[in-house]
Amino acid sequence: MSDLSKGAAWMRGEIIPIGEAGIAVTDWGVTHCDIGYDVVPVWRGAFFRLEDYMDRFVASVAALRMDLGMERAGMVAALGDMVAASGLRDAYVAMVAARGPNPVPGSRDPRDCKNHFYAWCVPYVHIVKPDLAEKGTSVWIAKSVRRIPADSVDPRVKNYHWGDFTSGLFEAKDRGFETTMLLDHAGNVTEGPGFNVFAVFENRLVTPENGVLHGITRRTVLDMAHERGLNVQARALPLEEFWTADEVFLSSSGGGVIPVARVDDRHFSNAAPGPVARMLRRDYFAWMERADLRSPIAYP
* pLDDT tens-place string over residues 216-236: 999 999 999 999 999 999 999
Q: How many CB atoms lie within 10 A of CB 106?
A: 5
Indicate the pLDDT class of residue 180, thresholds 50, 70 and 90: very high
Q: What is the pTM of this model?
A: 0.95
Q: How many CB atoms lie within 10 A of CB 274?
A: 21
According to the model, what pLDDT value does residue 2 have?
A: 73
* Same domain, residue pair 94 and 134: no
The domain that holds 119 is classified in CATH as 3.30.470.10
Examine the pLDDT at 1 and tell me if it is beyond 80.
no
Residue 292 lies in a domain: no
* Same domain, residue pair 198 and 274: yes
The domain that holds 211 is classified in CATH as 3.20.10.10
**Beta pairing partners, 263:** 139, 266
Look at residues 193, 199, 99, 183 and name the one whose alpha carbon lies nearest to residue 149.
Answer: 183
| H/E segment holding residue 97 | strand 91-98
Q: Which of 123, 154, 181 is the C-terminal boundary of a domain?
A: 123
What is the domain extent for residue 182?
Answer: 130-287
How far apart are alpha carbons 237 and 209 in whole angstroms? 8
Look at residues 255, 215, 217 and name the one whose alpha carbon lies nearest to residue 132.
Answer: 255
**Beta pairing partners, 107:** none
The number of distinct structural domains making up the chain is 2
